[in-house]
């Protein structure tokens, strides 16, 4: 029976890997779209009954109804370049990659750079829907955008806030991974203390340090995938996030080593080998071989872990970036983990 379940899990993981591969391959293909920018002063014809849909990562072909040369000449006189505007927000650093004066066309690659990341944050941060109506135009850097009409007499596009296909695929993958992990938590010893088998029908106690390690793994993984969907590009991991992962990994390693030492030095028959429930296990204050109730050092370690995890996710959602932990927060996390290990050692 266990072999069949294990085989099913392996098959599910294989399908997940295929979905992830599809997701990454799909993200490398940017869509090329054409927008006709018409000056309000010019004659405006019906272009399309539906708003245009554009998003980060797209290649946008902008066709001017008027003369491109006159706009280009103004830009050259000011030693500036032509850039796109969305909701009157200047997307600096996005310059034409193709200038076709004959056909009055410009091609832009809508990408996120250090220069315009704050502009994209104002457009995409704290997303509440997959798309939203926005205005689009072009203009000269450090100037107002050209007055335009794209769709009939309006200057309206649909801005892709969240790429729906990638989001749904990623959501399905994450839900499956979490379900598999919850199943493994219940059925295996993946986050349980490495005590000897307590016997038929009984489970080993849960480990706080291993839970903390798994918690930060999923927090960073979910955040990274979300940012990939939003930004459509590689997201650098801040050194402070690596420090947090390192703290949780070292805490898990040392905590597991202390448990093993306790097994080697104590009569196994006197150890509390059986789980008393998840929260009882991770919060129990062990004194020698007896469980003494809730331990403050364990409680504060769990609370700080959950609080910082929530802060991390909220920051990712609002600011479209992995949270930079400052020195004081890293110190607090180190003190919390160090206190936990210190009390565990004395026990």
pLDDT for the residue 58 = 85
Contacts of 260 (CB under 8 A, 6+ apart): 194
**Same domain as 156, residue 200:** no
Q: Confirm if 333 and 339 have CB atoms less than 8 A apart.
A: no
**Same domain as 283, residue 217:** yes
Domain extent for 328: 193-346
> b/e per residue, 288-303, with b = 16+ CB within 10 A?
eeeeeeebebbeebbe
Q: Confirm if 321 and 315 have CB atoms less than 8 A apart.
A: yes
295 is a domain residue: yes
pLDDT for the residue 68 = 82
250 is a domain residue: yes
66 is a domain residue: yes
**Same domain as 254, residue 138:** no
Q: Which residues of the chain have pLDDT under 50?
A: 1, 27-31, 38-51, 287-291
**Same domain as 122, residue 57:** yes
19 is a domain residue: no
**Same domain as 283, residue 147:** no
In the chain, how many domains are there? 2
pLDDT for the residue 286 = 58
**Same domain as 200, residue 280:** yes
pLDDT for the residue 66 = 73
């Amino acid at each position: 029976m266990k072999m069949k379940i294990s085989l099913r899990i392996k098959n599910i993981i294989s399908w997940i890997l295929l979905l992830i591969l599809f997701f990454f391959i799909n993200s490398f293909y940017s869509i090329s779209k054409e927008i006709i920018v018409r000056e309000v002063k010019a004659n405006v014809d019906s272009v399309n009954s539906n708003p245009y849909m554009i998003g980060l990562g797209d290649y946008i072909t902008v066709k001017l109804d008027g003369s491109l040369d006159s706009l280009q000449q103004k830009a050259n006189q000011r030693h500036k370049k032509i850039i796109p505007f969305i909701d009157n927000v200047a997307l600096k650093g996005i310059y034409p990659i193709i200038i076709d004066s004959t056909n009055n066309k410009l091609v832009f690659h809508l990408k996120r750079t250090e220069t315009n990341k704050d502009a994209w944050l104002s457009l995409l941060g704290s997303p509440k829907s997959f798309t939203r109506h926005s205005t689009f135009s072009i203009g000269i850097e450090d100037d107002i955008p050209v007055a335009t009409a794209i769709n009939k007499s309006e200057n309206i596009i649909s801005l892709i806030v969240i790429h729906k296909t990638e989001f749904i695929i990623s959501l399905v993958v994450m839900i499956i991974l979490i379900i598999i992990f919850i199943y493994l938590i219940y059925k295996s010893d993946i986050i349980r203390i490495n005590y000897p088998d307590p016997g038929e029908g009984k489970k080993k106690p849960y480990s706080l340090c291993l839970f903390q390690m798994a918690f930060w793994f999923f927090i960073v993984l979910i955040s990274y995938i979300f940012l990939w969907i939003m930004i459509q590009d590689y997201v650098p991991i801040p050194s402070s996030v690596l420090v947090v992962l390192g703290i949780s990994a070292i805490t898990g390693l040392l905590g597991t080593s202390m448990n093993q030492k306790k097994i080697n030095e104590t009569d196994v028959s006197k150890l509390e080998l059986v789980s008393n429930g998840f929260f009882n296990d991770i919060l129990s204050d062990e004194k020698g071989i007896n469980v003494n109730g809730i331990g403050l050092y364990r409680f504060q370690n769990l609370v700080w872990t959950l609080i910082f995890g929530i802060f991390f996710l909220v920051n990712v959602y609002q600011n479209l970036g992995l949270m930079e932990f400052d020195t004081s927060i890293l110190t607090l996390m180190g003190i919390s983990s160090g206190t936990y290990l210190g009390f565990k050692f004395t026990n």
